[in-house]
């Protein structure tokens, strides 16, 4: 019997969908910040927004990871293409601005969007970064809404030919989170059937179900 609490049953099908499609479409973000606390927070913000994260502590490490001193490729060391670089501005050694410049000067990496984060709202600094090609300037502490907005922006740019899949991923991701949050979902045992049929339901049935729910 189909679950009457619309969203819950949808989640089963959607979770399967994530596993199948999510792996091919997840954004890979390279986060650069010298603060351990900030790295931990940004990592979590990105993971919760369904991004794969590689977090490094300096501009030098970032360039190493991107293979700028070696091969010319936008692949990270682990072979995964980097879709976005999110870097702090104030870092010892190489600032986020200097990192931005090096990336934009590189033919292999210049297409990767770079976003700068800073705890200080210094207008000339912001202007300089945007002029140098930064996609955006985020004020710290970075919020979940900032990350989600970034992710959507990057997703729109990547794989324009596969918009439907991207939309599915986003919807799946936000429903998946809601499902995890709704630990007190009021569903009785007889309403849920975790049989293969109900968990791999077709998309049209899912949509129909969401409308009822």
Partner 1 sequence: MEVVQLQRSFVEYMDSLFREGFLDAQFSQLQQLQDDSNPDFVVEVVSLFFEDSERLLNDLTMALDQPNVDFKQVDAHVHQLKGSSSSVGAQRVKNCCIPFRNCCEEQNTEACLRCLQQIKQEYLLVKNKLQTLFDLEQQIVAAGGAIPMVQ
Please list the residues that pair with 51 across neighbouring strands: 27
Residue whose entry in the numeric block shows the structure tokens 């991107």: 66
Does 186 contact partner 1 by CB under 8 A? no
CB 36, min distance to partner 1, A: 5
**Residue from 64, 90, 165, 185 binding partner 1 (CB under 8 A):** 90
Q: Toward partner 1, which CB reaches closer, 131 or 181?
A: 181
Site string for partner 1, 57-86 (x = CB under 8 A): ------------------------------
Q: Which of positions 109-168 make contact with partner 1 (CB under 8 A)?
A: 119, 140-141, 143-144
Q: Toward partner 1, which CB reaches closer, 76 or 140?
A: 140
Query: Which distant-in-sequence residues (6+ apart) come within 8 Å of 20 by Cβ?
Result: none
- In the chain, count of helices (H) and strands (E)? 10, 5
CB distance 110 to 134 below 8 Å: no
The Cα 182–Cα 69 span in angstroms is: 47
CB 184, min distance to partner 1, A: 8
CB 180, min distance to partner 1, A: 5
The Cα 184–Cα 52 span in angstroms is: 29
Here the tokens at position 112 are: 């990767």
CB distance 150 to 136 below 8 Å: yes
CB 47, min distance to partner 1, A: 8
Q: What is the binding site for partner 1 (CB under 8 A)?
A: 35-38, 40-41, 44-45, 48, 90, 92, 119, 140-141, 143-144, 177, 180-181, 183
């Amino acid at each position: 019997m189909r679950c009457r609490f619309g969203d819950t049953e949808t989640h089963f099908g959607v979770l399967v969908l994530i596993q199948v499609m999510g792996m091919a479409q997840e954004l890979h973000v390279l986060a650069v910040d010298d603060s351990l606390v900030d790295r931990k927070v940004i990592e979590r913000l990105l993971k919760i927004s369904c991004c794969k994260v590689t977090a490094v502590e300096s501009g030098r490490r970032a360039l190493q990871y991107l293979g700028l001193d070696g091969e010319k490729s936008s692949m990270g060391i682990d072979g995964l293409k980097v879709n976005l670089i999110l870097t702090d501005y104030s870092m010892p050694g190489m600032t986020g601005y200097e990192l931005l410049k090096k990336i934009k000067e590189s033919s292999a990496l210049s297409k990767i969007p770079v976003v700068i984060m800073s705890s200080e709202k210094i207008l000339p600094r912001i202007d300089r970064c945007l002029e140098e090609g930064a996609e955006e300037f985020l004020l710290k502490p970075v919020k979940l809404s900032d990350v989600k907005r970034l992710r959507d922006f990057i997703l729109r740019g990547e794989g324009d030919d596969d918009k439907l899949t991207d939309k599915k991923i986003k919807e799946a991701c936000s429903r998946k989170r809601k499902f995890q949050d709704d630990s007190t979902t009021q569903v009785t045992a007889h309403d849920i059937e975790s049989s293969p049929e109900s968990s791999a339901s077709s998309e049209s049935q899912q949509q129909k179900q969401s409308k009822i729910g």
